Amino acid sequence: MTDGGNGASDPATGGAAGVVAAPRGRPRSDRAHQAILESARTHLTNDGFADLRLEHVAALAGVGKATIYRRWPSKEALALDVLMQLAAPHITIDDTGDTRAELLAAVTNAMRAITDTPFGPVIRALLSQIAMNPALGDPFRAS
């Protein structure tokens, strides 16, 4: 709140009246973000979802656990983000105007992704846990 225009500070914002405060802290590192995703992928592939520990992901990525929790609220959210990042190149189908060819491409791309890319081990690790951890399946049920 201002004092009628005499330049007093605004206690609601903690700064000068009408001035927008800059974000606090350091900007988020894209390198750390990518390192976390890669570390999580490695752990999901090697250990599976049930044994995924964020402290192990953090250690391999070279960050603190707090860095992970600033970006993802849970290991489920992190695992799903890894999955979506790996799936993205394989789920886009070009519109060719030929429905049969597009359906065939969708099936072929999915099979290739599961058998020949890093997506396969991650999706297998997560699918095996959906029955025990319904939160993992929520994004798929919602779409």
Residue 1's pLDDT is: 44
Q: Where are the domains of the chain?
A: 28-134
Per-10-residue mean pLDDT, the chain, length 143: 45 51 68 96 91 96 96 93 86 88 90 86 82 75 63
Phi, psi of 41 (to 5 degrees): -60, -45
Report field, pTM of the whole predicted structure over 0.75: no
CB 50 within 8 A of CB 130: no
CB 137 within 8 A of CB 130: yes
- The H or E element spanning position 31 is helix 30-47
Lookup: tokens for 135: 């939160």
Residue 103's pLDDT is: 92
Size of the chain in residues: 143
**List of residues 6+ apart from 48 with CB closer than 8 A:** 125, 128, 129
Residue 9's pLDDT is: 44
Residue 79's pLDDT is: 92
Residue 37's pLDDT is: 96
Q: What is the CATH number of domain 28-134?
A: 1.10.357.10
Residue 16 carries which DSSP code? E
